[in-house]
Structure 1
């Protein structure tokens, strides 16, 4: 019996030369959608026993422990991130620890595509597709939030100062990739609050 294999809709896609930032897909990102009550001490303890870290309870925050990251999505929902190779074992451990506790843990690794945008000017490029003010002091490393990006649903995670991961549903992967390629072209580069260079 052949084993299932994952093929990204962006397989083979490569960012061309002439971009003002770095764009690439992160194809090996595994994801678990976790639901439960943050007010349930048994739930929180069971998850910590598997992940090694407390679930974040503050809106739009995330936590990390080794190669595991947990993004807060809502008051009863989290997105657990790790490598695809660890997802089966991690999911089994979570379900075992949560047995008998009101909760839900589902592998959603194939649901979304992760695009990383990195480099000076990344915030300005992202702001071409969203109404979020990414230049404000709110968007520090670790911040995550749902957003509308280029008129589609997306999830933004601030990895570091000028490194961002955008999560989009796989059916919109090519659209989001093409939008970023267009807005990240060097001729489309903008400098906020300053004189713009004349087009060549």
Structure 2
């Protein structure tokens, strides 16, 4: 039996203004349907122990969370080893509600950008207002980063989590490293 691995085998880079790393395997389930229905809310919150996020937000703790993707979609995060059990639990809560719950764990890659300049690295790549007053921990955006679709959220003030398609993992890693090159600080978010 082959060993399951991340797209880049846990690659990391510390040579610049932020630390870039591929996160360990993460369970990810796309859940689509009426996000206001009791069945959908129970499926997502029951699987994670997190509250249903508002538009543009993520509710995450540890390897569990719920990220708002669109008016009819959330990304449910869980332990990679527990994806099957989590899906089964979600389907019980969904019952016969019109919905879609699909394991996308192996179709995605997850990266973490950490450090005092993490915000600056992400701002170079995404058309999102990342001023500290405009984008705070717990906020989530689905966007493009350079040439690829991606989504990101802040776990805390100096850490961003980025999810993209697994097929774009090497491109994303290289892109993040380029944006974090030594001496590339712009200083836009520096406080006086």
Q: TM-score, with normalisation over the residues of structure 1?
A: 0.85
Equivalent position to 2:49, from 48, 52, 58: 52
What secondary structure is seen at the aligned counterpart in 2 of 1:159?
strand
| Cα deviation 1:113-149 (Å, max 9, x = unaligned) | 1110000111111111122121152211111111111
Asked whether the 8 Å contact 1:52–1:65 carries over to 2, the reply is no
- What is the alpha-carbon distance in structure 2 between the residues aligned to residue 66 and residue 96 of structure 1? 24
- What is the alpha-carbon distance in structure 2 between the residues aligned to residue 73 and residue 14 of structure 1? 27
* CA pair 183-54 structure 1, distance change in 2 beyond 3 A: closer
* CA pair 189-109 structure 1, distance change in 2 beyond 3 A: same
Count, aligned residues: 190
> Post-superposition, which runs of at least 4 consecutive aligned residues in structure 1 deviate over 3 A?
45-54, 64-67
Question: By how many angstroms is 1:42 displaced?
Answer: 3.6
* CA pair 27-48 structure 1, distance change in 2 beyond 3 A: closer
Unaligned runs of 5+ in 1: 195-200
What is the aligned partner in structure 1 of residue 12 from structure 2? 14
Question: By how many angstroms is 1:73 displaced?
Answer: 0.7
Higher mean displacement: 135-144 or 28-37: 135-144
Equivalent position to 2:98, from 102, 109, 113: 102
Question: By how many angstroms is 1:152 displaced?
Answer: 1.2
Equivalent position to 1:132, from 107, 128, 135: 128
Q: Does 1:179 align with 2:179?
A: no
* CA pair 106-160 structure 1, distance change in 2 beyond 3 A: same
Q: Does 1:24 align with 2:21?
A: yes
What secondary structure is seen at the aligned counterpart in 2 of 1:110?
helix
Task: Let me know the Cα RMSD of the aligned residues.
Answer: 2.1
Unaligned runs of 5+ in 2: none
Instruction: Please give the residue correspondences for 1:145-156 in structure 2 after superposition, counting only pairs within 5 Å.
Output: 145-156=141-152
